Amino acid sequence: ELKVEQNPLFLSMQEGKNYTIYCNYSTTSDRLYWYRQDPGKSLESLFVLLSNGAVKQEGRLMASLDTKARLSTLHITAAVHDLSATYFCAVPIIQGAQKLVFGQGTRLTINP
């Protein structure tokens, strides 16, 4: 059974600081997705990582994928309050499948 684990589950940080959210998964996968969810809102797609070594950046967020280590990271640079949200990673249940298994989510709070 595929397990997707995020670390940490809760993160409180100050504006201007850097931090990394980790996503580990238990079986082989060629893809990984990152989503953002604001309180009471739906999920917004952030990144689609399609191969080993893939790195994508959007503003202050950068995501990477290491399929050999079964690990993805979401790095936040010089955090700002607007990035406060819950971040989810998701992995296909088997390679090539569309069914995704989501991590528990990392609730990020950025304080002024």
Is 44 a binding residue for another protein by CB under 8 A? The answer is yes
Shortest distance (Å) from residue 17 CB to another protein? 25
Site string for another protein, 63-102 (x = CB under 8 A): -------------------------x-x-----x-xxx-x
Shortest distance (Å) from residue 65 CB to another protein? 14
5: three-class secondary structure by DSSP: strand
- DSSP label of 69: T
Is 41 a binding residue for another protein by CB under 8 A? The answer is yes
What is the DSSP code string of 13-58?
EETT--EEEEEEESS--S-EEEEEE-TTS-EEEEEEE-STT-EEEE
Identify which of 15, 18, 103 has the alpha carbon closest to the alpha carbon of residue 62.
Answer: 18
Judged by the rule CB under 8 A, the positions of this chain that interact with another protein are 4, 31, 33, 35, 41-45, 48, 50, 88, 90, 96, 98-100, 102-105
